[in-house]
Structures are given as structure tokens and as C-alpha cells.
Structure 1
Amino acid sequence: MATQTDISDKYGAIARSVTDSGLTACCDPAMRCCDPITKNLYGDLERDGLPEKALLASLGCGNPTALTELKPGEIVLDLGSGGGIDVLLSAKRVGPTGKAYGLDMTDDMLSLARENQRKAGAINVEFLKGEIENIPLPDNSVDVIISNCVINLSADKSRVLREAFRVLRPGGRFAVSDVVVRGEVPDAVRKSMLLWVGCIAGALEESDYQAKLRAAGFESIDLEPTRVYDIEDARVFLTEAGISVDEIAPQVEGKFLSAFIRATKPAAPCCAPGCCTPGAIPGRV
């Protein structure tokens, strides 16, 4: 499993490449394996008006801003915000009375994101430096948490989910895109494929992901597959790595996928005198 330093160094290099050369992240030699996972995730209307380098730096496996309805005035937090594309999209949706935070641990990505914020003229945006295992925001301070294929990079996913639960307000929504594994896969095969799928090696089995969300306190958990990765997509990458694609294909097909993962923090129980009618569900008026 890559260390946080490894991850920070890798994504810092990608941010510098986007800044200096104008290449898309997945044209960068260090990230060539991600294509086609990270491309064509955003529609023309979403791309319109965004700085080019916010799009070039996108390394996700989905579009988390499409996962949940964002309402004017809400506060949104993007875990692992990278070049800032999902933060800027969220800021548009919550409007001037809302706010969108981006959290990233990589100085070069934060620098790129803040430059993209300046170019977009987004005043309801703030990029924070920190780790997703230690979110630098108070308890019960965020309405919606999004993330785009970043939680799978963490070595302590349970802590990430507990932190997400902590900063969400009662009734708050968790809506992320992530890579997951479906069923059992031999360790050697799993490692080879996960190095290709989104260029990571830490995705959870889908039932394990759901169990960790429940353990953190979430409810209404839903995991919706959005793309199942085909072994043929990885043929060149795996062949270059000395792996026989035809031999591992039967153990791989249908087992690696991107998914939308949604959950909710339970609403606070009703406590004010007279706030609940007889027989009402606690937390609802």
C-alpha cells in the first residue's frame, strides 16, 4: 500500500505537469494507465465556464456532483479535491449563500486549485490543506460530503468515514464516487488490476465498504455500480507488466468497478418542547 508521502509526491508531480505543460493528467507518463477510466466524466454544460486546468487535472472515476442534489445555501466538502473541478461545480450549485470546501494534502494541487478558483471567480470556495483522515473542520459543520476516487487511496478508510460522519450535520449526506471490488479475487491478480484501475491499489470489496459505513454510524447506504472495468481495457498495461491477460481474465471479469456510494447521517432526535407531534418519528416535525 502506498504511503501518504508516496501519494502526495505522485499527485504533486501531476499538478506540476498540468501547470507547466498543459497535458491532461492521464496523458502524463506517470498516469497513462488511468485512461480511459478518468475521461469523459463531465458533460458540456458542466465543463462550460470552468478553467481548462481544472479539467486537465481531473483524476476521478466518476462525477460526484451528479450524485446528490445540492441546494442553495448548503455547505459542501470535497475530500481529496485535487485541481478543484468538483469544488467549483459544487460552488455553482450551492450559490452565493452556500460554500464549497476542498481538502487536499498536496501543496502543488492546492496551488493549482486556488489558481483555478481565481480564474473561475469563485468567491464561495475555500481550499484547505490537510488529510482526509483528520478533517480540519468542526463537528456538525457540513451538509454534504463528496469525493472522487480518493477514499480508496487511504490506508485507514474506517477513520476517513468516521471523520466524514463527524463533520456532517445531522441529516447530512455522503455522496462519493469510488472504485470497489466485487467478490473474491486472488491477491496477486487483485494487486495487478488495482494498479491499473484508477492507478491505485487499495479499493475495498463492496460489502466491506458498506460495513465500514455502517460502523461509522451511517444509514440509508446505497452502492450503485456505474462502470464495470473490462479486462481488455487493461490489456496493454498488464502485458507491459509481464502479466498474462488471458490467464487472469476468468478471475477478473466483472469484479472491478466504479460506483456511486451514498449514505446519510441520522437526523438529530427531536428535543425541543412541543417539536414533535404524538407518534411522530424522532427528528421529523
Structure 2
Amino acid sequence: MAKLEKEKIDKSVKEFYSDVADGNETIKIDSVKLSESIGYSKEDLENIPEEANLGLGCGNPLIDGKPMEGETVLDLGCGKGMDVFNTAKKVGSSGLVIGVDMTPQMIETARKIAKGRKFTNTDFRLGEIEHLPVADNSIDLVISNCVINLSTDKKAVYSEIYRVLKPGGRISIADIVHIKEIPDSVLNNPKMYGTCVAGAGSCEYRENLLKEIGFKNIEVRLKPASKEYVKKWGIDEIPLEEYISSSITVAYKGK
């Protein structure tokens, strides 16, 4: 099956999210409606500054992640801080939520929101998820929402996650998986990598990768991609819902 080269994919993804951050990539859907369709409650959305919700997720990693008061949580691909701010309310003043994103405009905006809304337990860092600017064994929970599929080196990403987690630490990852072989018209469309669709793999691939790295108690659960998600990212000539599913992956770093 044909696939774009790594360099083209990386370039496309970076350009896509720079455009989103600058407002040049129009998200043609109600971000609140989309968030509700993928699992965010009214209370969750009240915790999130409106300007931080870009409508880019495919699930709610906090449902399974269950961040607790006093924990240190890391959000991969934090964007303008949607899940960071939601989590910050849950870990409280004794906790810390670190957001990492590769797009300078995203980090700059997230920091401004945090300052303006007086969040004192958040920290936004510019960096790539394959090379996390985070210390070893320092994180209780790693979350991510429709981001890891953007990477062309997923083994590096999950290895970095394993490195920064404390022994016994956990992950709760929302992302897209393939449930049927994706057509070449999707794999050859650079924009479909920015949507997390073309860069997805199967549940089996993800489970085997996590086992290889050393994760324990791995569970990948499927949830049909919402109509709002498919409408936002789909291709007119392809019934995308037949090929992909949302998923939540939970796993632990062995003690």
C-alpha cells in the first residue's frame, strides 16, 4: 500500500497545526458539540476556557485516566491547553499538569490563557513528543488526545512515555485506530495525516508495541468515531466510519 515519505508527513503535520494555531485552518464544526460527542461532560467543558477548545480531539482521556489530587500529569500535544486546564482543576493546587506541544503558537497561546485565567498549577513546554522535555520517572499519568498518530515514530513516543512515567504510573490515550485497511486515496492525502486518520494503526499493532516497550495491563477499547468527528475530518468519496474507530488505551509502567 502506498504511503507518503516521512519527511512529507512531518512537514504536512507541522504546517497543518501551525495553520490551526493561527486560525488559517478552519474547523467547520461546533467545538462544544464535538467535545460532548466524544465524552466531555458539561462540568468538564465548564473547566475549560472556551478559547482553549479547538475541537481537535477524538475522545476524553480523563475518563479512564482519573487524575487525582496532588498528581503530576503530562499531556502530549496539548494544543492551546484544553485537557491541561480540565486536568488542572482535578489535581488541585498540590498537583501539576505539564503540556507539551511542537507548535510555538499553541504554547504561546496556552501560556497566555493560563496567566489570564490565573492557573498556577500548569506548565506549558515547547517540544516534540518523540523527545520529551520531561525528567525521568517524574509523571503519575500521561494523557493524549488524538496526537500520537501524528508521529511517524510511534515507538520513540511510547518509549519516551515509559521513560518519564514513575514506576506504577499509567497512560490514558485517546486516538484513532484502523478497523479496516485504509484506501490509498487517504494514505496519499497529506492532510489526512494531520487529522490522525492516515497515521493510525490497528489495535494489535498498538498492543504489541506497548508490550515490547515494557508496559503492563494493556487495554485498548474501541468506541465508534462520532458523527461529528467523521463529518469534520472525512473525505466525501469515502465512508470513513467503515475504516476507523476511536479508542482509549490504558496501560501501566511496571514497578
Using the aligned pairs only, state the percent identity: 34
- Is 1:3 aligned to residue 9 of structure 2? yes
Equivalences for residues 224-239 of structure 1 within 5 A: 224-228=221-225, 233=230, 238-239=235-236
Deviations 1:234-262 (A, max 9, x none): 599533xxx3x4xxx6xx66431001111
User: Is the contact made by 1:73 and 1:94 (CA closer than 8 Å) also made in structure 2?
Assistant: yes
Letter in 1 for 2:46: D
Backbone CA RMSD of aligned residues: 3.0
Deviations 1:78-125 (A, max 9, x none): 000001010111111111111000000101111111122123311010
What is aligned with 2:250?
A: 262
- Is 1:150 aligned to residue 147 of structure 2? yes
- Normalised to the residue count of structure 1, the TM-score between the two structures is 0.76
Shift of 1:200: 4.0
Q: Using the alignment, how far apart are the partners of 1:104 and 1:197 within structure 2? A: 14
Q: 1:13 aligns with which of 5, 15, 19?
A: 19
Equivalences for residues 91-170 of structure 1 within 5 A: 91-170=88-167
Alpha carbons of structure 1 residues 136 and 189: separation in structure 2 relative to 1, 3 Å: closer
User: Is the contact made by 1:75 and 1:98 (CA closer than 8 Å) also made in structure 2?
Assistant: yes
Aligned residue pairs: how many? Answer: 246
Higher alpha-carbon deviation: 118-127 or 220-229 = 220-229
Q: Bigger radius of gyration, 1 or 2?
A: 1
Q: Using the alignment, how far apart are the partners of 1:154 and 1:130 within structure 2? A: 13
Higher relative contact order (CA 8 A, sep 6+): 2
Q: Which blocks of at least 5 consecutive residues in structure 2 are unaligned?
A: none
What is aligned with 1:54?
A: 52
The SS at the match of 2:59 is coil
Equivalences for residues 205-216 of structure 1 within 5 A: 205-216=202-213
Q: Using the alignment, how far apart are the partners of 2:233 and 2:214 within structure 1? A: 42
Q: Using the alignment, how far apart are the partners of 2:174 and 2:206 within structure 1? A: 12
Q: Which blocks of at least 5 consecutive residues in structure 1 are unaligned?
A: 18-27, 268-285
Alpha carbons of structure 1 residues 97 and 120: separation in structure 2 relative to 1, 3 Å: same
What is aligned with 1:203?
A: 200
- Is 1:70 aligned to residue 67 of structure 2? yes
Deviations 1:154-190 (A, max 9, x none): 0000110000000001000011100001244454466
Letter in 2 for 1:176: I
